[in-house]
A and B are shown apart, each in its own frame.
Chain A
């Protein structure tokens, strides 16, 4: 956009510069001229509904909202004449009479844009009678409440839900002053298509949508906002954490309308409030077999002792280490060093390591020239794609923000979406083509798609071996037409992206991944666009640190296992059984879980908010998570614990 022509306007008698294509409001903001707004929100479409941002423009008979008025060279604009200010005050008065805006009882009081404007305009009373009816409140969503009595119908929630989240749950229902925000066809939010991402809540300028986990726990001005990143999944959304009295009050997306700023229910709500049971002191299994609080010294001594014993009796390779890739790279690095150098075992892994091994083998089958994860595409490439194929994943469940990108591409750019999953997958209902091959037959389906795409695009590719349509129909149990349609859709596209997720990663099938890559290469005109949705915030970081390199992990039977959970509570995969069978189990964890319950020693670990560190997103971007809380007393940093243990050996 740098080639936009520069223009000069006169605003309040001063010459100000901007670019052609700016709105008058954009230009004012860029030049530090404050114009009040309510329905405007950066990154959303401009509707000119609230009328607060009206300005006078020479040559216009009426006052016009600056948020929708295109700036032109030579325009003469006035933003703060007495008439305009009077007019704005009138609008505020009218808004205050429309519905119940008694701030006293409102969760947003102090953080409300309407209230702030009223103060700004010294609106001490309204000259018009209150007209508000008693409107219902929708409390059925787990995390959010919609209180229509506070709604000013600015439509920010509607726009953010459609334009940013791509979910299109919210809309206006009814008309005139009877208008209400409604989810789907007037369902309660909790029973609607809402994915509880909370973007609407963050967009709402008033207390009309508020968070059950944050309400009445503190205003922004009472606490401190710390910018950080969310470390839950591999997207790495940017967050603003409001902390008051060493408690997290609220988590906002740092850049709601931009990429990686809208958050999902896990990042926004579940990190503020969950029902996990925190481990706050070291625990040791006593003679009776119960876990019992112990001192750090005792616990550490026990662990170093056991390590020495097992090493001495069975050798270092009787000990295996597992770490969650929710941990930042610094912790993981220390862990790798500790296991490899201090203990001397090569049996280390992350909870999601088997997925990595499948990916790497798949890539090497595909390219045979030693390439790795770098062949994958950045997440944003979804937004430029003209077709998205989702394989073995419901992104709205595992990586909701990635799901949003796909929905946005679909609804805004009419991008075709194909979903392939042998498991039931509700994302399939949001797609144009939903293919459900029989379990284990995905590779056959992809092989057939390759053949069809190669034919349609007249590919000269020789190295790939396709699967015939007939054979694929037989293996997958799918309709011939459906496969052909999907192939046609892929062939029509010039820039398709293939996104795959947990279904593929956990299938332990490198051939499937190689197929996927083949197909992506055939279908895309300028290369290869593939994204794997890695499960945890630092999966890629852990993999790149070599934590998951060890082949044959699935076969080992460790005598002693050291598991660094940190705040991970996600316990599935083969490694859980392996660990369960170890004679001696050490768990370093923030929360109680089934595995910590059968550990012999447990060390408390900080949670995400109590540590800082480096994270590598699923598409390889490095981010830094900040320490937003002082750790609870008795909690030591993971690196510190590991270093101390190393010293003890």
Chain B
């Protein structure tokens, strides 16, 4: 493709941008206050839509002209629902934990009145005298937003806001470049795929571009089947154009005419927002035929996946797109040479594609300056589990786990001790405290037996049993194994049954060796990534928490007091307040009775270990405890 229409492309885009900028200025620098409600799926489940209703309702009672905007996820899931208010003359403030009542008060006190309501504020978005800046929070010392830059700041259903923030400039630039030069730029940036394996994006594009054939496809992988991961969803819901722009540049580079966004069926809002975004992009001539007046044409269709985890695997995804059962297919050939309908196909993750526009806009060197030697840029994690600030975070590659968990995540709640962190979901690994100071990137994680995976990060504390954690994750992969290849279908099943045995106290020491051998074989010999990575949680917990396995097997003891079969509930006689009957009534199986001294005693034969007595026992007595192994319960006297 020759660069015939270079000036035309630039001037066509300039018109589009001018229009967007003027609209944005009108909105942002105008005299109207703006109320933004963070209403992506996460916000909605926390009640964002109710908050939005309350805001609108409260406003309707007043006379004021206020701009209300639905924006995407800001990543601070722990503090959802979030509301941002920009009132002319005042700093822009982020409010957290907003309920409909609080929302009404904000409208009344701050919009209609002058009270900035610092008690609800998380922080201001700019330095000011009134409210501490949100960037003073310890997390912002470590965070660096590239993908999350626009998220929660713009209305995902308004393309002009994206353009006003610099959007589609990269596309306009790219269309004036030779595809080879784009590949070179991406190569220089060091971008690696964020779908899990960290494969070089430039190399993938190069292979596809140089594969023979006129028809090529581009697929954006937004299947995100990993439980606990939701960054792809957040990006599609909150900043869909960044993905579309990335796809356009990728398609132009590899020579694709048609593209698909493969979205999980459980992501209706993401599909909806993507559809709106596609429509708007097409409306502006940024998508479809002769984009920005160039000879490049490209269209994108959203496709709703079938919901199986394995459909995120690229060959299964292609099969599913072709209308076949979503089963993985052996590689080679790789999709880049023979993919959808047998044509060269690039599959990239949502995040990978969303990095492309900023790389083209700011240059490869800028991107390459962030991160570690071999992993450039940032990493997005979904923090979950035993951590104070759950939600999304974006940090440069090379940030340590300690910084992420303790500074960004605010540490472990309730003063409990950190025990481990599971990175990368069911395909990832479980890392112990000793790994906390390791700078994390694709390679360092792999070295210690985990992987970046989808970026799920589950923090575990002393109440979590590592054997049970391994069993839990393996149960997931085992259930999701498609069954095509023997090693994964049968290996995961036997591994799971061994882990089940351990958590029930039926294991034997030699099983540990058998388990390890089997796990290794499943890892090296399965057909697709699902099987190959499924042993990771098992192998890492066995490596770092062997003592816990030993306790389960040799002593039938669960050190974390978590495994149902290995614990017993016991009422400490010296702590029981005799006259209190709180536990007795709550026990559904009537296992608790009073002895002669009116001390409550649990009949172990009847007890089903539901744990209600433990919660029922008033905090000041704290008489109910868990014991492991169960035979530690002293024999009942009289």
A interface residues, Cβ below 8 angstroms from B: 46-51, 54, 61-63, 65, 68-70, 87, 90-91, 94-95, 97-98, 127-129, 131, 152-153, 155, 171-172, 174-179
Out of B325, B480, B486, B532, which one reaches A91, CB within 8 Å?
B486
A-B contacts, 25 listed (Cβ < 8 Å): A47-B484, A48-B485, A49-B484, A49-B527, A50-B486, A51-B485, A51-B487, A61-B524, A63-B524, A87-B521, A91-B486, A94-B487, A94-B494, A97-B494, A128-B494, A131-B494, A152-B486, A153-B483, A153-B486, A171-B325, A176-B479, A176-B489, A177-B481, A177-B483, A179-B489
Minimum CB–CB distance from B212 to chain A (whole Å) comes to 15
Contacts of A62 in B (CB 8 A): 524-525, 532
Chain B 518-533 residues near chain A, CB threshold 8 A: 518, 521, 524-527, 532
Bound Cα distance from A451 to B535, whole angstroms:
68
Minimum CB–CB distance from A245 to chain B (whole Å) comes to 38
Question: Are B490 and A98 in contact, CB atoms less than 8 angstroms apart?
Answer: yes
Chain B 466-525 residues near chain A, CB threshold 8 A: 478-487, 489-491, 493-494, 497, 514, 517-518, 521, 524-525
Bound Cα distance from A599 to B423, whole angstroms:
87
Contacts of B532 in A (CB 8 A): 62
Minimum CB–CB distance from A80 to chain B (whole Å) comes to 16
Contacts of A50 in B (CB 8 A): 485-486
Minimum CB–CB distance from B447 to chain A (whole Å) comes to 14
Question: Are A175 and B481 in contact, CB atoms less than 8 angstroms apart?
Answer: yes
Bound Cα distance from A174 to B325, whole angstroms:
11
Contacts of A177 in B (CB 8 A): 481, 483, 489-490, 493
Also in contact, A176 and B482, with CB within 8 A (given A90-B518, A97-B490):
yes
Bound Cα distance from A175 to B332, whole angstroms:
24
Contacts of A152 in B (CB 8 A): 486
B330 at the A interface (CB under 8 A): yes
- Nearest A residue to B479, CB-CB: A176
Bound Cα distance from A176 to B477, whole angstroms:
10
Question: Are A176 and B483 in contact, CB atoms less than 8 angstroms apart?
Answer: yes
Bound Cα distance from A179 to B524, whole angstroms:
23
Bound Cα distance from A54 to B481, whole angstroms:
20
Question: Are A175 and B485 in contact, CB atoms less than 8 angstroms apart?
Answer: no
B175 at the A interface (CB under 8 A): no
Count residues on chain B whose CB falls below 8 Å from chain A CBs.
30
Minimum CB–CB distance from A455 to chain B (whole Å) comes to 34
Interface centre among A94, A95, A172, by most B CB within 10 Å?
A: A94
B308 at the A interface (CB under 8 A): yes
- Nearest A residue to B482, CB-CB: A175
Bound Cα distance from A172 to B484, whole angstroms:
9
Minimum CB–CB distance from B359 to chain A (whole Å) comes to 29
Also in contact, A95 and B527, with CB within 8 A (given A127-B514, A129-B497, A176-B480):
no
Contacts of A155 in B (CB 8 A): 484
Also in contact, A49 and B486, with CB within 8 A (given A90-B521, A129-B497, A131-B494):
yes
- Nearest B residue to A52, CB-CB: B486
Question: Are B486 and A94 in contact, CB atoms less than 8 angstroms apart?
Answer: yes
Minimum CB–CB distance from A536 to chain B (whole Å) comes to 41
Out of B325, B332, B497, B524, which one reaches A131, CB within 8 Å?
B497
Minimum CB–CB distance from A53 to chain B (whole Å) comes to 11
- Nearest B residue to A154, CB-CB: B486
Question: Are A172 and B527 in contact, CB atoms less than 8 angstroms apart?
Answer: no
Also in contact, A48 and B521, with CB within 8 A (given A127-B514, A131-B494, A175-B308):
no
Contacts of B333 in A (CB 8 A): 70
Interface centre among B479, B481, B483, B486, by most A CB within 10 Å?
A: B486
Bound Cα distance from A51 to B523, whole angstroms:
13
Contacts of A174 in B (CB 8 A): 483
Bound Cα distance from A152 to B487, whole angstroms:
12
Out of B330, B478, B481, B483, which one reaches A68, CB within 8 Å?
B330
Which 6 pairs across A and B sit closest by C-beta, in order of nearness?
A: A94-B490, A68-B330, A179-B483, A48-B330, A176-B483, A176-B481
Contacts of B524 in A (CB 8 A): 61-63
Minimum CB–CB distance from A368 to chain B (whole Å) comes to 47
Bound Cα distance from A561 to B330, whole angstroms:
66
Contacts of A153 in B (CB 8 A): 483-484, 486, 489
0 or 1 for each of B329-366: is its CB under 8 Å from A? (1 = yes): 01011000000000000000000000000000000000
- Nearest B residue to A126, CB-CB: B494
Contacts of A70 in B (CB 8 A): 332-333
- Nearest A residue to B480, CB-CB: A176
Contacts of A61 in B (CB 8 A): 524
Bound Cα distance from A514 to B334, whole angstroms:
52
Contacts of A91 in B (CB 8 A): 486-487, 490
Question: Are B483 and A95 in contact, CB atoms less than 8 angstroms apart?
Answer: no
Contacts of B486 in A (CB 8 A): 49-51, 91, 94-95, 152-153
0 or 1 for each of B80-108: is its CB under 8 Å from A? (1 = yes): 00000000000000000000000000000
- Nearest B residue to A180, CB-CB: B483
- Nearest B residue to A155, CB-CB: B484
5 extra interface residue pairs, beta carbon distance < 8 Å, beyond A94-B491, A95-B486, A176-B481: A49-B485, A90-B517, A153-B489, A155-B484, A177-B490
Bound Cα distance from A495 to B189, whole angstroms:
53
Bound Cα distance from A51 to B333, whole angstroms:
18
Question: Are A65 and B330 in contact, CB atoms less than 8 angstroms apart?
Answer: yes
Chain B 308-334 residues near chain A, CB threshold 8 A: 308, 325, 330, 332-333
Question: Are A47 and B330 in contact, CB atoms less than 8 angstroms apart?
Answer: yes
Contacts of A97 in B (CB 8 A): 490, 494
Bound Cα distance from A50 to B484, whole angstroms:
8
Question: Are B525 and A54 in contact, CB atoms less than 8 angstroms apart?
Answer: yes
Contacts of B485 in A (CB 8 A): 48-51
- Nearest A residue to B495, CB-CB: A128
- Nearest A residue to B484, CB-CB: A49
Bound Cα distance from A548 to B514, whole angstroms:
74
Question: Are A172 and B489 in contact, CB atoms less than 8 angstroms apart?
Answer: no
- Nearest B residue to A127, CB-CB: B514
Bound Cα distance from A483 to B502, whole angstroms:
71
Question: Are A69 and B332 in contact, CB atoms less than 8 angstroms apart?
Answer: yes
Interface centre among B481, B484, B527, by most A CB within 10 Å?
A: B484
Bound Cα distance from A178 to B518, whole angstroms:
21
Minimum CB–CB distance from B246 to chain A (whole Å) comes to 29
Chain B 419-478 residues near chain A, CB threshold 8 A: 478
Bound Cα distance from A68 to B331, whole angstroms:
8
Contacts of B497 in A (CB 8 A): 128-129, 131
Question: Are A172 and B325 in contact, CB atoms less than 8 angstroms apart?
Answer: yes
Bound Cα distance from A216 to B497, whole angstroms:
36
- Nearest B residue to A61, CB-CB: B524
Question: Are A51 and B332 in contact, CB atoms less than 8 angstroms apart?
Answer: no
- Nearest B residue to A178, CB-CB: B483
- Nearest B residue to A62, CB-CB: B524
Contacts of A129 in B (CB 8 A): 494, 497
- Nearest A residue to B510, CB-CB: A127
Interface centre among A48, A49, A176, by most B CB within 10 Å?
A: A176
Bound Cα distance from A68 to B532, whole angstroms:
17
Contacts of A171 in B (CB 8 A): 325
Contacts of B481 in A (CB 8 A): 175-177
- Nearest B residue to A67, CB-CB: B330
Minimum CB–CB distance from B318 to chain A (whole Å) comes to 15
Minimum CB–CB distance from B584 to chain A (whole Å) comes to 42
Bound Cα distance from A178 to B478, whole angstroms:
11
Contacts of B525 in A (CB 8 A): 51, 54, 62-63, 87
- Nearest B residue to A72, CB-CB: B332
Contacts of B518 in A (CB 8 A): 90
Contacts of B332 in A (CB 8 A): 68-70
Minimum CB–CB distance from B207 to chain A (whole Å) comes to 15
Minimum CB–CB distance from B455 to chain A (whole Å) comes to 23
Out of A48, A90, A127, A128, which one reaches B527, CB within 8 Å?
A48
Contacts of B514 in A (CB 8 A): 127-128
Contacts of B484 in A (CB 8 A): 47, 49, 153, 155
Bound Cα distance from A177 to B514, whole angstroms:
21
Contacts of A127 in B (CB 8 A): 514
Contacts of A49 in B (CB 8 A): 484-486, 527
